[in-house]
Structures are given as structure tokens and as C-alpha cells.
Amino acid sequence: MEHTIRTDSLKRQLEQTTGNNYACCYQCGKCTAGCPAGGFMDNPPARIMRLVQAGYVEEAMQSDSLWYCIGCMTCTARCPQNMEIAGTMDAVREMALKSGIVSSDKAKKLVTAFHTSFLNTVRKSGRLQELALVNSYKLRTRTFLQDAGAGLKMMKQGKINPVTAFTSKETVEHKEEIEKIFQIAEGSSHSAAPKRKPVKRTFKADEPVRITSGMTIGYYPGCSLSGTAKDYDISIRKMCDRLGIRLHEIEDWNCCGASSAHATNHKLSVLLPARNQALADQQGLDYVLAPCAACLNRQVTARKALMESAELREELKSAMGRETELKSRFIGVMQLLEGMGAEEIKKRVTHPLKELPLACYYGCLLVRPFDAMGYDDPENPTKMEEIVEAIGAKPVDWAYKVECCGAGLTMAQQEMIEDLTHKIAKNATNNGAGAFVVACPLCHTNLDMRQAGMRKRYNDVGEMPVYYISDLVAMACGASPEEVALDKHFVPATGMVRNL
């Protein structure tokens, strides 16, 4: 009887956390069918939902599946009953970690080591120190030789500087606010989520933002663009310079928590980006460019959560000592380009990319969850193709443009990343693509840095350069390959565009 009462209590907790009425799940299997990591799972999404529905929450907590879930939100986006399935995976994982009722699978050790290392360095400095993350992860997992070659190459490229990594003052000034946020997240349960009901969901894009040459907009580089994705930061700044857009970096910004916060602590995943929202509001920024799709996703999701929850707003106020107005709007690179307009960009093109065959790869987080992101069709987005055509290149029609590449699990689940990126590369190649174009540093890392390992395992796809959309726009507007740091990519990317 005790076990039954406790199990019912856990189920009620999940219902409050996610807003789900689990009785509405009729086990159609659509979530599992679309799950990119489903083949690695003992209990894929539909089975996790059934376990919760039937009251076997502790069994769900012991599933290996929780440590293979990528957080791509494909399951939630495709659920015909409007169930928060991805949120269920996150909530069950968080409950498992807090209770100690967890899988003994090796994947749990690796993924938990990554999230722990990630959040520890954020708590210490307010921003992710990537070298500290890697060192901590390797000490916890004893994977000392993993990615040693890639690390040495990034040092040569200037993406990693061991000296400045240990001596620089790249920290948040008001670290006491970060510590307060972590304390609040540790000491309180989830806020009750709005109740979800089965509804017919149709996508309708938000009105485009209005961006004009000469504007100054906010800039949130996030942690990766200050380190291993430094080439993206260089590219973004060069593109904006060519388009006449000035960037004003948010003063004292902090890490948004990215994958590790929402995978382990829901409250933390909202309050960390909420602080950036409050800073942007305070500094009077109407729009803030967040080039990283994961950062953008967390910022947009946090703003929506703050709008819906007075409790969250009060908790943010207790951490920062002031209210936030929620006026600043975080936008991605594609929203910025759409806001300027394809025709206006076309006017600035001096070196068209001459039918360059490209697979426009959105990944998962640029378009999901569509009720929060509101940018493009979550199943068949087309706005990147419009910009690619405006600069003279040729987008190919292919099937994997929104399939997840593995996102932030690139260290902890390398084999799975290679499997996922192989499927993506194979489909792109079969449909005539010669290269990828992306708008996310995580997508770039998995498709570019992991490509050699993937091709070595499968040996049925050739080298495919991976360009940021900002690389291509800047070059079409007259920048050289060196000015957008193409020489810092792993897969050689300069030759394909040098003589266009």
C-alpha cells in the first residue's frame, strides 16, 4: 500500500510539472517513431509515457532511456494529443537524480558527469569555461584520450587558449546573483505548469521582426561563441558589419544553462536565462541577437515562462533585487536575416555563390517548440532556403533538415552522434548537396568536428564542408573566406567557395 501511495504521489508530481493529463495518451507511437535516439533506448518515449500513465514511475526513473534523450522536442512537437513528452523525460530524469533511483547503465554515468561538470563551472564563474568543463568531465569519466586530437587542433586554431582559460577574468561580475539562482533552484519544486489539453495544433508564423541597416541591436554571444565556436562569433560580426547592423553585447551576461540545466533542474533552466532577460530589459535593448540555437531556445522559453508565472518573476526578483519588464526580445540569426528581407540582402550581394548546392540544416532547436519559437514551420521550414537563394546559392530538397544531430551530448554519447550525423549526411548527399549550411554551433560541431569519425565508421559519404549561414551571407556581400574564419573549420571549407 505504501508503494502505491508513493507512486501515485510521483505521478501527480509529474502531472503538475508538465501540465499533462497522462490519461490522454492513447499510445499511437508517433513520439517513438520520430525519436532520433529511440533505437538506443530500452524504454523509448511512448513506453515511458505508458509507464507513467500506469503508475510505474519508479520503473520509468530506472530507464536507460533518460540518458539517451537528446532534448530535441520532436516527440512533443508531433504528439497529436498535445502532450509534453520531452518535458516528461526531463522531469523523470530530475526525479531520478534527486531520489537516487536511477539506471546503472554506463550512459548514465557519462551524461551525468557532463551535466555536473557543466553546471559546476557555471555556478563558479557564471559562464561556461569550456576547458574547465572538459577537464572535469575527463577526470570524472577517465576518458582522457577522447578528442585529444580535436583539442590540439582547436588550440592551434586559437579556439582554445590554455593560458587565458586559467588566467582570464571571463566571469560574471555579480556572481552572487548566480549563486542565489542556484540556491533557489535547489530549494524549490517545479512551478505548476499550465494544464495541457488535446487540441488540433496548427503552425502560424509570428510576424517578422523589422531590421534595417544602421540599427543597433543587443548581442548575446553565449559561452560557446567565446570559445570553441569563436569562428561563428567572427562570422556573425562580419556579416552584421556587411549588412550595416551594429551589435551591443549585453553587459554582464551569464550562461543560459543550455542542455544541462533543463536536463537536470527545470527551475534552474528558467532562472539562468531569465537573468539575461532582466539585464537586456534594464539596458534598454529591443532586440537581442542570440546566434546559438540552444541559447535562443532557452531564452525564448524562459521569457514565455516568466510571462505565465508570477512565482518565477518573484524568484527572479529575489535573486537580482529588481523587477523585469520582459520587453526585450531574443532573436536568432535567421530571424535577423528575415527581418532585413531577402530582397534587401540581394541588393548587397557582390559575389553571388553561383548555384552552390547546399543542404539547409535547421536541426531541432531553431523551430521547436513552435508555440514558443514561432519562427518557421517545425516540420518543413523554408526561410533559410529563401536567404540561400537570395545570395545566389542553390538549396537542395531533402528529408532530414529538422532531424536532431545529437545536440549537446557530443562528448557523452559520441557513438550516437556519429550514427545520427551519418543518416543526415547520407540523405543530404543522396539529394545532391555538396555542403551543409547551419545556424547553430552545436549543429556545426556535430556535423563538422565529428565528421571524420563518422566517415571512418561508415565510409560511404565524402567530405562535406559545413558553413554557418553568416559565413555565406558575409562572403556573398564581399568578405573573404579568411575574414569569416573558414580556416578554423575541421572539414576544409575554403576551396569550395574560393573561386565562386
Confidence of residue 145 (pLDDT cuts 50, 70, 90): confident
What are phi and psi for residue 437, nearest 5 degrees?
A: -125, 130
* CATH value of 2-99 in 1.10.1060.10, 3.30.1380.10, 2.60.120.560, 2.60.40.3080: 1.10.1060.10
Residue 190 in this model has a pLDDT that exceeds 60:
no
Burial zone of 500 (CB within 10 Å; 0-12 exposed, 13-18 middle, 19+ buried):
middle
In 174-265, where does DSSP find H-type helix? 175-187, 230-243, 258-264
Domain 342-498 in the same topology as domain 2-99: no
The dihedral sign for the CA sequence 151, 153, 159, 164 = positive
Q: What tens digit of pLDDT does each residue of 217-228 get?
A: 999 999 999 889
Q: Is the pTM of this model over 0.85?
A: yes
Per-residue pLDDT at 144: 84
- β-pair partners for 61: none
Confidence of residue 3 (pLDDT cuts 50, 70, 90): very low
Per-residue pLDDT at 164: 60
Domain range summary for the chain, segments of one domain joined by +: 2-99, 342-498
Range with the largest mean pLDDT of 303-307, 413-417, 428-432: 428-432
Confidence of residue 30 (pLDDT cuts 50, 70, 90): very high
Per-residue pLDDT at 434: 97
Average pLDDT of the residues in 55-71? 95
Residue 2 in this model has a pLDDT that exceeds 50:
no
- Measure the N-to-C terminal CA separation of the chain; round to a whole number of Å: 73
The CATH class of 342-498 is alpha beta
Residue 27 in this model has a pLDDT that exceeds 80:
yes
Confidence of residue 286 (pLDDT cuts 50, 70, 90): very high
